[in-house]
């Protein structure tokens, strides 16, 4: 299993199709057990160290909930302002300390690469819950799982829409696309918010079939799914010149009904700001709240895999 390469889950590189199949299988089994309220308490006696140095609702709560639902307990750093970081303690010292207070750490940090730095000095498994513009591997896993719960990923045509430059969820998702060689991608954003060169180079090097399109209506007409992201304001130093793009892609029901296939799947890691109108919420293809539920399942499946590799569910 290469999900936890060197004991950690820091990025999606290295994850194989076989890993996905196993993980999704565990997540499906846990879904059944969740619904029948018979989740196995396999994490009894274990402690999750939850360290969020950046705002979070879904990711933090679903990680913590996943651990609690499988019988473990959670010890969290709490608000950064309430911790010794406020007194000037460094990130590294914090990690060195908290490794004695838990069995696994989930870390979110505003600086790309910091979670990897933590892994270099910590004897516990670390899961990256988002490092700045870098990666957000568990989100990519739950995104693919959500699509796979509705249709095969083989031959899927997927539009990635919005702030592709700064979205770590997009950066992680992209790196899993080569596992599905028949997928086709449409990259839909204004030029200034397009994918970083390194990500484009990655797609080319892995012979991913993709096209760049700035007009959303043209991109929509033949795709099976769209993955929408908000403008990542907190990652943009010169925000003024980007603010016009806040509402650049505002999808509503009328627009989707006019331009998209009737069974279009709509995904968004959330939080949404202006990109998805509320009138989309009860379309059967609107899967963003289901993604939030799947965040719980995938994170339970990851903990299960980490601590119970040979066990039966
Ligand atoms: C995303 C994130 O934090 O990168 N949210 C999440 O984890 N569900 C996306 C975002 O903040 O736009």
* Residue among 270, 289, 293, 296 to mutate when testing ligand 1 (max atoms within 8 A of CB): 270
Q: The dihedral of CA 6, 50, 19, 288: what is its sign?
A: negative
The mean per-residue pLDDT over the stretch 189-198 comes to: 93
Tell me what pLDDT residue 75 has: 96
**pLDDT, tens digit, 9 for 90 and up, residues 119-142:** 999 999 999 999 999 999 999 999
Please check the confidence at residue 41 and state whether its pLDDT lies above 80: yes
Protein residues with CB under 6 Å of any ligand 1 atom = 58-59, 130, 136, 139, 168-169, 229-230, 269-270
**pLDDT, tens digit, 9 for 90 and up, residues 70-86:** 999 999 987 877 778 77
For residue 242, name the pLDDT band (cuts at 50, 70, 90). confident
Please check the confidence at residue 24 and state whether its pLDDT lies above 70: yes
pTM: 0.96
For residue 243, name the pLDDT band (cuts at 50, 70, 90). confident
Closest protein CA for atom 7 of ligand 1? 59
Q: What percent of the chain has pLDDT over 90?
A: 82
Tell me what pLDDT residue 133 has: 94
Q: What percent of the chain has pLDDT over 70?
A: 97
- From the CA of 55, how far away is ligand 1's center (Å)? 9
Closest protein CA for atom 8 of ligand 1? 269
Closest protein CA for atom 1 of ligand 1? 269
**pLDDT, tens digit, 9 for 90 and up, residues 276-309:** 999 999 999 999 999 999 999 999 999 999 998 5
């Amino acid at each position: 299993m290469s999900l936890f390469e060197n004991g950690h889950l820091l990025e999606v590189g290295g994850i194989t199709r076989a890993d996905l199949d196993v993980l999704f299988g565990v997540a499906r089994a846990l879904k059944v057990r969740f619904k029948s309220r018979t989740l196995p308490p396999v994490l009894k006696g274990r402690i999750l160290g939850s360290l969020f140095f950046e705002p979070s609702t879904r990711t933090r709560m679903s990680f913590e909930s996943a651990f609690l639902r499988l019988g473990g307990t959670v010890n969290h750093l709490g608000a950064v302002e309430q911790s010794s970081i406020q007194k000037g303690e460094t990130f590294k010292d914090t990690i060195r300390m908290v490794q004695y207070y838990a069995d696994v750490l989930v870390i979110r940090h505003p600086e790309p690469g910091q979670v990897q730095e933590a892994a270099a000095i910590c004897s516990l498994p670390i899961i990256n819950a988002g490092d700045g513009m870098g990666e957000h591997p568990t989100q990519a896993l739950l995104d693919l799982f959500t699509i796979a719960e509705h249709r095969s990923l083989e031959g899927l045509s997927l539009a990635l829409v919005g702030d592709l430059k700064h979205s770590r969820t997009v950066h992680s998702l992209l790196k899993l696309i080569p596992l599905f060689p028949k997928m086709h991608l449409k990259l839909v954003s204004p030029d200034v918010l397009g994918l970083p060169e390194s990500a484009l180079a990655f797609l080319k090097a892995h012979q991913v079939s993709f096209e760049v399109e700035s007009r959303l209506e043209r991109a929509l007409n033949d795709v099976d799914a769209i993955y929408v992201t908000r403008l990542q304001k907190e990652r943009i130093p010169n925000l003024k010149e980007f603010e016009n793009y806040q509402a650049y892609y505002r999808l509503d029901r009328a627009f989707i009904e006019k331009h998209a296939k009737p069974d279009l799947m709509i995904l968004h890691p959330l939080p949404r700001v202006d990109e998805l109108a509320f009138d989309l919420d009860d379309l059967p293809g609107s899967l963003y709240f289901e993604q939030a539920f799947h965040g719980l399942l995938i994170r339970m499946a990851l903990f299960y895999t980490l601590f119970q590799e040979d066990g039966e569910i």
